[in-house]
A and B are shown apart, each in its own frame.
Chain A
Amino acid sequence: MRSFSLIDFVSLFAALRWTVALVALALAFGAPLALGLAMGRISRFASLRWAMAACIQVIQSVPLLGLLFFFYFGMPVFLGIQVPALVAVTVAYTLYTAAFLGEIWRGGLEAVKQAQWEAGACLGLSAWQQFRHIIAPQALRLSLPPTVGFLVQLIKGTSLASILGFVELARAGQVVSAATFQPLLTYALVAAIYFALCLPLTLWSRSLEARLDGSR
């Protein structure tokens, strides 16, 4: 046993880079997939709409911890190959992000009135041009506050990677707590770091929402 020192403090902050990396990976792969899901959900083809809705429903009805364990422990055994931990975890967070962002963005797209599509069609724009220049900008404005809100969920969600042994912030907290026998100080510090990351985003999301309300 040793006392809590500067090195423990540094190791917590050093572990923060993995928290940030996991969030960045989840967004980098999850956001394009979410866009695909959202567009599929408002597609003309009923079968595509149903398939996308089913995908989203399944992922949203399973614990994030379940997704992580399934892809980290289950999938490599099933496929019979070695899957690097980072890949397995990235797949799980990508699906999680895609399902939630997809549903948020679908809401944004559907909130734009049908007449806007028709107006675009009247101007001779193609379906893609209508989406790109008329619908998407308006939907983006509408869905930005919940998107930022989801970012907070995602940051908090990366703490679950600690259970798989990923040395991100939560895991670094466990390690430091075990080494120093100071759970109070360590976990309070870990919670404070998460809080410092998430609170600005929460406040930003709220101010975006308030601004949106005033303009309507």
Chain B
Amino acid sequence: MNFLPLWRYQNQLIDGAIVTLELTVISALAGLVIGIAGAVALKGRVTPLRWLVRGYIELFRNTPSLIQIFIVFFVLPSFGLKLPAFEAAAVALSLYFGAYSVEIIRAGLDSIPRSQVEAGQCLGLSGWQVFRHIILPPALRNAYPAVTSQFVLLLLGTSLASQVAADELFHVAGFIESRTYRSFEVYAVICAVYFAMAMSFKALFAIIGLAAFRWPRRR
């Protein structure tokens, strides 16, 4: 066991980690936008749109992320849409994360009892005020743990982008391994880097959660 030969690749490792973070954050933001739009559509009155969103959710949650990345990268070019590796992975991961986000956000909104909305209306609040002050705060609090754990799963899932040769952390691992032939050390280090990133995000989200949702908790 000798980790020293890996030392000279630290710049590549850092660059890879940065690309992984970029991929994660971009996909998460795009996915959340999809999630909010999808949840609104599911709550809406347009039936075909609801079916469309349901179909999207089931399709993307019941097929492997790897196959989705392959389809965006290898199949879309035959429709004239040729995306570079990073962009293709970002599109596929956004759609994957979006499918989970719709369900999480919808569940968060559904967790508010109808009677609370009616209570707000009885107090003379407008539709927007009911949403802003009665539905949104507890819905956010209920959805927060699920969204953050899904975010960490997304961070780990970006490793699949290495399979279409996006220059993220896992791809860098393959590169270093091919140069040094130190498989054990390389993959131990890579796993440790992912572990450190995942734990940092978990700690960060826990702190944000404590600060943002401080009002009395349900017992």
Interface residues of A (CB under 8 A from B): 57-58, 60-67, 69-70, 73-75, 77-78, 152, 156-157, 159-160, 162-163, 170, 173-174, 177, 183-184, 187-188, 190-191, 194-195, 198-199, 202
Q: Assess the A75–B157 pair: CB atoms within 8 A.
A: no
Q: Assess the B191–A191 pair: CB atoms within 8 A.
A: no
Q: Assess the A187–B70 pair: CB atoms within 8 A.
A: yes
Q: Assess the B190–A66 pair: CB atoms within 8 A.
A: yes
Chain B residues in 8 Å Cβ range of A78: 1, 184
Q: Would you list the 10 A-B pairs with minimal beta carbon distance, nearest first?
A: A198-B62, A61-B198, A74-B184, A159-B64, A73-B183, A63-B159, A156-B64, A63-B156, A78-B184, A70-B187
- Which residue in chain A gives the minimum CB-CB distance to B58? A199
- Which residue in chain A gives the minimum CB-CB distance to B183? A73
- Does B195 interact with chain A (Cβ within 8 Å)? yes
- Does B144 interact with chain A (Cβ within 8 Å)? no
A74-B170 in contact given A63-B194, A183-B75 (Cβ < 8 Å): no
Chain A residues in 8 Å Cβ range of B61: 152, 198, 202
- Which residue in chain B gives the minimum CB-CB distance to A156? B64
A63-B63 in contact given A75-B184, A183-B75 (Cβ < 8 Å): no
Chain A residues in 8 Å Cβ range of B17: none
- Does B49 interact with chain A (Cβ within 8 Å)? no
Give the interface SS of chain B, mostly helix, strand, loop or mixed.
Answer: helix
Q: Assess the A162–B66 pair: CB atoms within 8 A.
A: yes
Of A58, A157, A183, the contact of B195 (CB 8 Å cutoff): A58
Q: Assess the B159–A194 pair: CB atoms within 8 A.
A: no
**Bound Cα distance from A61 to B151, whole angstroms:** 12
**Bound Cα distance from A156 to B1, whole angstroms:** 34
Interface residues of B in 153-175 (CB under 8 A from A): 156-157, 159-160, 162-163, 170, 173
Interface residues of B (CB under 8 A from A): 1, 58-59, 61-68, 70-71, 74-75, 78, 152, 156-157, 159-160, 162-163, 170, 173, 177, 182-188, 190-191, 194-195, 198-199, 202
A-B residue pairs in contact (CB < 8 Å), sample of 19:
A60-B198, A61-B199, A61-B202, A62-B194, A62-B195, A63-B156, A65-B162, A66-B190, A66-B191, A66-B194, A69-B187, A70-B191, A74-B186, A75-B184, A160-B64, A191-B63, A194-B64, A195-B58, A199-B62
B63 to chain A minimum Cβ distance, whole angstroms, is: 5
Other contacts beyond A69-B187, A156-B62, A170-B64: 17, CB < 8 A: A61-B194, A63-B170, A64-B156, A65-B160, A66-B156, A73-B184, A78-B1, A78-B184, A156-B63, A162-B66, A163-B163, A184-B75, A184-B78, A187-B67, A187-B74, A191-B63, A191-B68
Chain A residues in 8 Å Cβ range of B63: 156, 191, 194-195, 198
Q: Assess the A202–B62 pair: CB atoms within 8 A.
A: yes
**Bound Cα distance from A170 to B163, whole angstroms:** 12
